[in-house]
């Protein structure tokens, strides 16, 4: 997890290296590549469900307050534009309040806590190649991926009541994405990347301070990131 978090610091430095590298007019290198990404993460409000009842809604701080996403990618560019890729990503957001509190008769209350999601995805992107001048340095792409995400919530607190330490589950996930690449040199390219990630319900079991019963929630988020890629 510490390695994942550190990628957010690497992105700034590596992108700076890309800006001072001289440009080239040749196409992106085909074959293997590695990439880093980092940017903002928006999380949709999430209902906590127990015994078939949505008993509270978690609302999150959004960028630029707390939400961010980072990622590492390893892939292969083919001449036909297909680009299979393995991606490891990390997302984090903090809670701001709890809404629709069924057990307390409704209403909202300020809340604390954080949600972290680590995902391993197998992606397939399609690059739109050979755009006419003056757009030949740009490469739009679209695609998606399947994989698994570990969803964890920790430090939940509302009205001075603490709801246990860390609650975690690993579930299947999918993502959709699109972006725009820009060629810097024969090996280096930058990108602006959009991702929509959604998981199946994560099951946390009993949670301290709540009635007994499996507590579950689904996760969905949208990320906007800058990326830097190096082709071998």
In-domain check, residue 186? yes
Q: Which helix (H) or strand (E) holds 7?
A: helix 2-19
Give me the pLDDT at residue 3, please. 38
3-state secondary structure of 134: coil
Query: Would you state the structure tokens that stand for residue 57, as one six-digit string?
Result: 């809604």
Q: Is 50 exceeded by the pLDDT of residue 21?
A: no
In-domain check, residue 96? yes
The per-residue pLDDT for range 134-177, each reduced to its tens digit, is: 899 999 999 999 999 999 999 999 988 899 899 999 999 999 99
Q: Which stretches of 28-95 are DSSP H helices?
A: none
Q: How many domains does the chain have?
A: 1
Report whether the peptide linkage leading into residue 134 is cis, meaning its omega lies within 30 degrees of zero: yes
In-domain check, residue 119? yes
Query: Would you state the structure tokens that stand for residue 69, as one six-digit string?
Result: 């996403």
Q: Is 70 exceeded by the pLDDT of residue 88?
A: yes
Q: Strand 161-162 vs strand 138-158: parallel, antiparallel, or unpaired?
A: antiparallel
Whether residue 206 contacts residue 212, with contact meaning beta carbons closer than 8 Å, is answered with: yes
Query: Would you state the structure tokens that stand for residue 110, as one six-digit string?
Result: 């300020």
CATH number of the domain that residue 57 is part of: 2.40.160
In-domain check, residue 23? yes
Q: What is the pTM of this model?
A: 0.85
Percent of the chain with pLDDT over 70: 88
Residues with Cβ within 8 Å of residue 149, at least 6 apart in sequence = 117, 118, 119, 120, 170, 171, 172, 173, 197, 199, 219
Domain assignment of residue 217, given as a range: 2-130+140-231
Query: Would you state the structure tokens that stand for residue 219, as one six-digit string?
Result: 């996760």
Q: Is 70 exceeded by the pLDDT of residue 62?
A: yes
In-domain check, residue 66? yes
In-domain check, residue 135? no
How far is the CA of 99 from the CAs of 12, 43, 58, 60, in angstroms?
Answer: 36, 15, 7, 11
Query: In b/e form, how buried is each residue of 55-91, taking b as 16+ CB within 10 angstroms?
Result: bbbbbbeebeebbbbbbbbebebeeeeebebebbbbb
Residue 187 DSSP label: S
- Give dist(CA 30, CA 79) in Å, integer: 7
In-domain check, residue 14? yes
């Amino acid at each position: 997890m510490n390695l994942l978090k550190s990628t957010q610091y690497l992105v700034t430095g590596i992108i700076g290296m890309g800006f001072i590298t001289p440009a080239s007019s040749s196409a992106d290198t085909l074959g293997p590549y590695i990439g880093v990404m980092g940017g903002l993460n928006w999380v949709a409000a999430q209902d906590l469900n127990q015994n078939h009842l949505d008993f509270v809604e978690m609302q999150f701080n959004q960028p630029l307050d707390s939400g961010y996403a980072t990622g590492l990618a390893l892939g292969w560019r083919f001449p036909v534009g297909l680009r299979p890729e393995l991606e490891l990503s990390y997302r984090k957001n903090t809670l701001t309040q709890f809404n629709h509190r069924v057990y307390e008769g409704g209403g909202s209350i300020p809340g604390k806590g954080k949600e972290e999601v680590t995902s391993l995805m197998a992606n397939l992107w399609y690059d739109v190649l050979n755009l006419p001048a003056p757009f030949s340095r740009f490469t739009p792409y679209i695609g998606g991926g399947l994989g698994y995400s570990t969803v964890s919530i920790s430090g939940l607190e509302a009205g001075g009541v603490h709801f246990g330490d860390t609650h975690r589950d690993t579930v299947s996930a999918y993502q959709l994405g699109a972006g725009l690449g820009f060629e810097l040199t024969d090996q280096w390219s930058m990108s602006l990347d959009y991702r929509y990630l959604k998981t199946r319900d994560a099951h946390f079991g009993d949670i301290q301070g709540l009635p007994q019963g499996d507590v579950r929630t689904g996760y969905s988020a949208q990320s906007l990131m800058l990326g830097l890629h190096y082709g071998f």
